[in-house]
Amino acid sequence: RHTMIRPPKDVDLFLVLDSGEYQDTELNELITPEALISKLKKVLEKIFEDDNEVTVEEQRHSVTVVYNENFSIDVIPAFETDDGKAYKIPDIETGRNGRYITSNPKTHYKYINDVNDSTSVSGKKRFKKIARLLKFVKKKKFNEEPTKIRSFHFELLAAKILGNEPINSYSEGINKFFSEAENYFDKASIVDPANEENMVDDYVDELDSETKKLIKNELNDLYQISSRAVELETLGNENAAITEWKKIFT
């Protein structure tokens, strides 16, 4: 989607498997998501068994190969749907043995491209660059529990807030994002563009009220800073505006 920040810390590897090789013969259907994640973990552990610096960890939808504190790869196993238009990926946190949810990274790619195109002004496409800036802020401000926000969630939240009208400047776009972002942390509200039944931010519903308050307060603080920066830019005081922006990005 060209919205990754550098240096990359987490890289997603989408691994499309042959569904015929992963069948539960007794049930005559795919093995459970829990079994799939467990199987993938064992395979990756075997691959890296001689490397003491690499660890392998189960995640909700993937297995993560952690090389060090600065770099890891999320290996996401997937099966193509019968119609060939999407993929089924495991979700092991729902139900006893998990469930398969439908999604499609190609649809995500198109969705972000469409937002980037539709919000352009005089041929100037700003959304993707703003998304990268906001993901950088996410990494600085919302990357540790209990207030950790998922990167893809933050990106789609930016698309939801900024995707309905032209983005006239980077400052305007960033300020608008922070002016509205806190309103989306009361309950899950960001739908997966590839599957309207899948909420990308469903984990928000599991956060306690105090954690939600911490996230919203931090977002509001960022809005106050960005608002001052935009106001100073409007007044022509660029040096003072830069000082304010540095409070967010450095």
Note the pLDDT of residue 132.
Answer: 95
Q: Among positive and negative, which fits the CA dihedral 151, 244, 181, 209?
A: positive
> How would you write the pLDDT of the chain (250 residues) with one tens digit per residue?
777 776 677 888 999 999 989 988 776 789 999 999 999 999 999 999 999 999 999 998 999 999 988 889 999 999 999 888 899 999 998 767 889 999 999 999 999 999 999 999 999 999 999 999 999 999 999 999 999 999 999 999 999 999 999 999 999 999 999 999 999 999 999 999 999 988 999 999 999 999 999 999 999 999 999 999 999 999 999 999 999 999 999 8
Q: Name the β-bridge partners of 71.
A: 68
Beta strand 10-17 pairing with 71-80 = parallel
Note the pLDDT of residue 10.
Answer: 80
Note the pLDDT of residue 96.
Answer: 74
Note the pLDDT of residue 156.
Answer: 97
Note the pLDDT of residue 6.
Answer: 66
Note the pLDDT of residue 81.
Answer: 92
> Of 14, 2, 3, 13, whose CA–CA distance to 139 is shortest?
3
Alpha carbons 174 and 180: distance in angstroms, whole number: 10
Alpha carbons 62 and 98: distance in angstroms, whole number: 12
